Amino acid sequence: MSERFVSRATRASRKFRSRRDPIVAGAGSILCPGGAICLEHLGCAQRTWLVVSGPARGQMWDDPRADCLDLRPVVGPGGSTSVNFAAWYLRWLDDAEHAAG
């Protein structure tokens, strides 16, 4: 392996840790939003949360923060209305049945 590659990899790793460590240290705030339960892991650190308290209670939220995007409500067809838990769960069941054949 070239020294230049190792140096770039080391710098990238340090940069990643410098961004990750404050988040991991704050688990319960940024990593795990208070008042929400993670119901789905979509891979690559992307999750779907059920909000259990506050004004958005009962709504489902996407968590694409691993891609440097903000939390956002899951929306239904047309993108205009927030999806509640019941609608999300029924869609999830339909997808699971379809995948199972």
Any long-range contacts for 57-62 (C-beta under 8 Å, 24+ apart)? 58/84, 58/85, 59/83, 59/84, 59/85, 60/84, 60/85, 60/88, 61/36
Q: What is the largest CA-CA distance in the chain?
A: 54
* Of 69, 48, 45, residue with least CA distance to 59: 48
Report pTM.
Answer: 0.61
Which residue's entry shows tokens 């205009």? 80
pLDDT tens, the chain, 101 aa long? 556 666 777 777 777 666 655 544 444 444 456 788 888 877 787 888 898 888 888 989 888 888 888 888 888 888 778 889 999 999 889 989 999 98
